[in-house]
């Protein structure tokens, strides 16, 4: 027998033992839990498996972006929940960015009142738990809205009531042509801006690519209406009397109060963090950069566009991505106010009905994990592409 195989030198032993111990304890813990789970499930007469996903769900969901009723499968219910989660996250991210950037710039304003106002906003909304803000909007603020018969009227096309916000429904024909026209506009704008950059860098010629871009963005979709046969109609919500005392709106799209409360709470809470990121980003650009840019004769707009923003964005984007991820994860608080997101629909109702705790909780967690990892890896890639290339 070759004894050399056993004579590991001291340094290697020092490296090997902790690793083996770690792996061993992980394997032991997992197998212990798996064994217990096996025993428990055998006792209760359930077998591990994902077959239940194709069974009929037989429960209704109050708000859905795709066709769904009780006769659809659990997998379909999962999809409804996932889409609702993504919907509220996208709305939340949009408004959080809008409010956050405004407030972040506002905090740096030379206007004393605006700066103070922004600071108070950040300090108030950042230091109150999101769940409480959500409860406040849902149980206190939105419950104070009027009944349908006294709805708050926005120019006779949109109504805000305690049962939700009724907005006109868009009825498209040839919707895909409209989308193609927007895509074509985007391609054209990219082309123009590339061309403009080349002209500027090689010949010093200035092409107003921004204005051309705006014109293109409107002409292409407009052309699709005139030539492509795209039409757009609105279905405006109308107040109907259901019985002697009950009124409600028919037609249009109803944005349920749960969605409104959740989107408001998420965006106002996350906006405070984005505002701080924006502020840190702009403060992080040294004064010398601006002075240097001014000394080579750039105008104020050019300084902002060509010197400050590209550098500030490099500081702002990584933490802001983190906030977007947090917002998406925080949208799971929907379960607290019964907005049918993935946690409520799947980890709530479906779990109660099927009793398959392990499968359902791991699918739910896996979905969030997948969303998080894919956004963060995309952002890592983006970060690397905008990082300063050191020579």
Partner 1 sequence: MIFNILKPNKKNIQTYLAIGVSLLIIGFIDIFSNTFLNFNITGFFPNIISYLSPLILGAFGLYFIRIEYSGNKTLNTINRNLNSSNFNAILSLIVIFILIKYVPSILNWVFFDANFLGSTKEDCTGDGACWVFVRVWFNRFMYGMYPDAEQWRINYSFLVLLGSIGSIFILPHRFKKYIILFLLFIFPIIALNLISGGVFGLKWIETGAWGGLSLTFIVSAFALIFCFPIGVFLALGRRSDLPAIKYSSIGFIELWRGVPLITVLFMSAVMFPMFLPDGTYMDKLMRVIIAITLFEAAYMAEVVRGGLQALPRGQYDAAKSLGMGYWRMHFLIIMPQALKLVIPGIANTFLALVKDTPLIFVVGLLELAGMIGLAKTNPKWLGMATEGYVFAAFVFWIICFSMSRYSQNLEKKLSTER
Please provide residue 39's backbone torsions phi and psi, each rounded to the nearest 5 degrees: -60, -45
Compute the least distance from the CB of residue 87 to partner 1, in Å. Answer: 16
Among residues 109 and 219, whose Cβ is nearest to partner 1? 109
Q: How far apart are CA 378 and CA 391, in angstroms?
A: 25
For partner 1, the closer of residues 113 and 387 by Cβ is 113
Nearer to partner 1, 182 or 352 (CB): 352
Nearer to partner 1, 28 or 222 (CB): 28
CB of 291 to partner 1, least distance (A): 20
Minimum Å distance from CB 76 to partner 1? 21
Shortest distance, position 217 Cβ to partner 1, whole Å: 26
Report whether 352 contacts 361 (CB < 8 A): no
Question: Taking the complex as a whole, how short is the minimal distance between the CB of residue 127 and partner 1, in angstroms?
Answer: 4
Cβ-contact 357, 351 below 8 angstroms: yes
Q: Which is nearer to partner 1, 285 or 335 (CB)?
A: 335
Contacts of 216 (CB under 8 A, 6+ apart): 185, 188, 189, 192
User: Minimum CB separation from partner 1 for residue 117, in Å?
Assistant: 5
Q: Positive or negative CA dihedral for 161, 162, 167, 171?
A: negative
Q: Identify the CA nearest to 237 among candidates 305, 303, 169.
A: 169
How do the residues of the chain divide into helix, strand and coil, expressed in percent and rounded to 5?
70, 10, 20
Residue 335 phi, psi (nearest 5): -55, -25
Sign of CA dihedral 264, 265, 271, 272: positive
CB closer to partner 1, 39 vs 182: 39
Q: How far apart are the first and last CA of the chain?
A: 55
Q: Which residues are CB-neighbours of 160 under 8 A, at least 6 positions away?
A: 145, 151, 152, 154, 166
Min separation Cβ 134 and partner 1, Å: 10
d(CA 298, CA 307): 10
Nearer to partner 1, 231 or 362 (CB): 362
In the complex, minimum distance from the CB of residue 305 to partner 1, in angstroms, rounded to a whole number:
19
Burial class (CB within 10 angstroms; exposed 0-12, middle 13-18, buried 19+) of 271: buried
Residue with Cβ nearer partner 1 (140 or 306): 140
> Would strands 231-235 and 164-167 be described as parallel, antiparallel, or unpaired?
unpaired
User: How deeply is 199 buried, as exposed, middle or buried, from its count of CB atoms within 10 A (0-12, 13-18, 19+)?
Assistant: middle
**93: exposed, middle or buried (C-beta count within 10 Å: 0-12, 13-18, 19+)?**
buried
**Smallest separation, CB 358 to partner 1 (Å):** 6
Q: Which CB sits closer to partner 1, 311 or 372? A: 372
How far out from the chain centre does Cα 337 lie? 19
Query: CA 165 to CA 86: how far, in whole Å?
Result: 20
Nearest distance, CB of residue 48 and partner 1, angstroms: 10
Give the chain's radius of gyration (CA, Å): 28
CA 99, 124, 164 angle in degrees (round to 5)? 60
Q: Is the CB of 27 or the CB of 292 nearer to partner 1?
A: 27
User: For binding to partner 1 (CB under 8 A), which residues are involved?
Assistant: 15, 18-20, 22-23, 26, 33, 36-37, 39-41, 43, 109-114, 117, 123-124, 126-133, 135-136, 139-141, 143-144, 329-333, 335-336, 343, 347, 351, 357-358, 361-362, 364-365, 368-369, 372-373
């Amino acid at each position: 027998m070759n004894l050399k195989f056993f004579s590991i030198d001291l340094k290697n032993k020092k490296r090997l033992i902790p690793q083996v111990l770690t792996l061993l304890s992980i394997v032991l813990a997992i197998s212990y839990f798996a064994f217990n789970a096996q025993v428990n499930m055998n006792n209760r007469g359930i077998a591990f498996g994902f077959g239940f996903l194709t069974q009929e769900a037989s429960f209704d969901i109050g708000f859905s972006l795709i066709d769904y009723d009780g006769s659809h499968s659990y997998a379909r219910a999962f999809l409804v929940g996932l889409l609702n989660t993504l919907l509220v996250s996208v709305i939340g991210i949009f408004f959080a960015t809008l409010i956050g950037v405004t407030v972040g710039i506002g905090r740096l304003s030379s206007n004393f009142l605006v700066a103070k106002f922004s600071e108070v906003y950040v300090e108030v909304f950042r230091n109150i738990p999101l769940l409480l803000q959500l409860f406040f909007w849902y149980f206190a603020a939105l419950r104070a809205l009027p009944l349908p018969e006294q709805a708050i009227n926005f120019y006779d096309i949109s109504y805000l009531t305690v049962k939700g916000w009724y907005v006109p429904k868009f009825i498209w024909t040839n919707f895909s042509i409209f989308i193609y026209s927007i895509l074509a506009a985007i391609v054209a704008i990219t082309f123009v801006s590339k061309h403009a950059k080349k002209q500027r860098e090689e010949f010093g010629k200035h092409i107003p690519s921004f204005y051309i871009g705006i014109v293109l963005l409107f002409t292409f979709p407009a052309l699709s209406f005139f030539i492509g046969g795209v039409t757009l109609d609105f279905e405006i919500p109308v107040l109907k009397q259901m019985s002697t005392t009950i009124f409600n709106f028919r037609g249009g799209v109803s944005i349920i109060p749960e969605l409104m409360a959740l989107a408001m709470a998420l965006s106002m809470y996350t906006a405070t963090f984005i505002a701080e990121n924006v502020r840190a980003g702009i403060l992080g650009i040294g004064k010398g950069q601006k002075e240097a840019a001014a000394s080579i004769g750039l105008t104020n707009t050019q300084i902002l566009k060509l010197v400050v923003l590209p550098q500030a964005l490099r500081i702002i984007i990584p933490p802001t991505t983190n906030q977007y991820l947090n917002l998406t994860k925080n949208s799971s608080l929907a379960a607290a106010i019964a907005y049918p997101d993935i946690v409520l629909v799947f980890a709530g109702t479906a779990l109660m009905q099927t009793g398959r705790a392990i499968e359902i909780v791991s699918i739910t967690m896996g979905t969030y994990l997948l969303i998080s990892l894919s956004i963060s890896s995309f952002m890592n890639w983006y970060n690397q592409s905008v990082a300063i290339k050191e020579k």
